Chains A and B, each alone.
Chain A
Amino acid sequence: MSLPGFPEAAPLAGVTGGVLIGLAAALMLLGAGRIAGVSGIAARAFGLAEGSMPRMGAWAFLIGLPLGALIVMGQTDAASPAFAEPLLLVVAGLIVGIGTRLGSGCTSGHGVCGMSRLSQRSLVATATFMATGFATVAAMNALGIEVLP
């Protein structure tokens, strides 16, 4: 299935992935009573944040992420995606780490769990990181900075 005007878009895969993400977050909420916010869970697992979530549980969630990716990759013969150069990965990772701690969340906690709850903080956070994300790609393109091969 393709989207008129956007030959590269994969709307069906997108919705399927999104529904799975929503189901996973719903399982965390209704099963464990918690927000499936990956930056917060990561900080908790590595002892970088206080919180009520058991650290074993935080580790279990984090280990599940590549496990799920592995299961999907095993079902497809699609080529592996390209990633940025190490230096850019370091710069990006540092900024993401600092930003998610200061901003109390990322795409999952604010973008999925908070927005769907109509949390004022999450709506503001998501609008903000989307805006700076759009601006950053536009600026890098304008400067001719290539990230991916």
Chain B
Amino acid sequence: MSFAPSSSDPKTEIMNQIRQEAAVANARQLVEKLNEHCFERCVPKPGASLSSGETTCYTTCMEKYMAAWNTVSRQYVARIQRESAAAPRY
């Protein structure tokens, strides 16, 4: 679970734990949203099992959602950086 050597000082240990928990929360949120969108798009009528078509759709949809996430991330971060450079705080 922890990626720091256990012999490290308490401050580093706490920081690593916070980083780890933030990363997990972020990943969980992405998976949740991704599944929400892709389930809606790829499985309009749930059958007895996921068909191969639905599975293929899921693969494409996941890739697309993550590409969309990256685009939003770049655009949003660039914008808040621009605005915080123009004004002292955002």
Q: Answer whether A and B are interacting partners.
A: no
Listed in ascending order, the chain B residues whose CB lies under 8 Å from chain A are: none
